[in-house]
Amino acid sequence: DGSQADSFSSRFGPRRIREESVLLRPANPSTGALPFQSLMVADLGDVNVNLYNLQDSCRLIREAYQKIVAAGCIPLTLGGDHTITYPILQAMAEKHGPVGLVHVDAHMDTADTALGEKLYHGTPFRRCVDEGLLDCKRVVQIGIRGSSMTLDTYRYSRSQGFRVVLAEDCWMKSLVPLMGKVRQQMGVRPIYISFDIDGLDPAYAPGTGTPEIAGLTPSQVRRLHQ
């Protein structure tokens, strides 16, 4: 879902992604992917948000994705911080029911509150569980690492039935065996893939507001998506 950066840099993330995308060519020889031949692809533009009201921004995002999903589109979202995943999943679950989740991130984003607020980039998946948007037996979180307020920071996710794959369990390993297990776990029902840029080690992707050392490498991330 993009960088958990400050609001200014996240706001202009989509613009920078479009600028960088001109360097991409239409074929990927290593994977055999030809997306513009196998898919009907369109840039639907930026989703409007209210820069001064997070709750209203979530409403606007949810309503935009309700229209996208109703039109039969499969959304691919770039930019923003992880808060946006919550209203997107509201729209997805409204059509498909509880969905599976493959979540690549340094952080689990399952906190309950911050400074008394229930909604921010560290709480989206807690809110999704509260509202029954996730099929919790089909949720996998990969690349989790970094400091925490407590030593039992993984307890909530695991108590909900999530598979939590710590970054240290990925070090110096191919992730092909892991993804074989994940695909089997996900089955054929709808899933949502959420990728936070800080899932990558900051040596490769420093443009995040929440860098955590010892993360995934680009080659490992490619294996996650093959």
Q: What digits encode the pLDDT tens for the residues 184-223?
A: 999 999 999 999 999 999 999 998 889 999 999 999 998 8
Average pLDDT, the chain: 92
Residue 81 counted as an annotated binding residue: no
pLDDT at 7 over 50: no
The amino acid sitting at 72 is: G
- pLDDT per residue over 18-50, tens digit each? 999 898 899 989 888 898 898 998 999 999 999
Interacting residues of 6 by C-beta distance below 8 A, sequence separation 6+: 209
Closest CA to 81 of 163, 7, 135: 7
Confidence of residue 226 (pLDDT cuts 50, 70, 90): low
103 is in an annotated binding site: no
Residue 109 known to bind ligand: yes
Interhelix angle 54-70/85-96, rounded to 10 degrees, is 40
Residue 82 assigned as binding residue: yes
pLDDT for residue 160: 98
Determine if residue 107 is labeled as part of a ligand binding site: yes
Contacts 24+ apart (CB under 8 A), 211-214: 212/106, 212/107, 212/145, 212/146, 213/145, 214/145, 214/167, 214/168, 214/171
C-alpha dihedral, 70 to 76 to 80 to 82, nearest 10°? 90
> Where do we find the tokens 């294996």?
223
Q: Supply the DSSP symbol for 220.
A: H
Architecture of domain 10-225: 3-Layer(aba) Sandwich (3.40)
| Domain locations along the chain | 10-225
Chain segment 125-167, per-residue pLDDT in tens = 999 999 999 999 999 999 999 998 888 899 999 999 999 999 9
225 is in an annotated binding site: no
Q: Which residue has the higher pLDDT, 128 or 79?
A: 128
Mean pLDDT along residues 60-73: 97
Q: What is the mean pLDDT of residues 63-69?
A: 98
Integer Cα distance of 93 and 138 in angstroms = 14
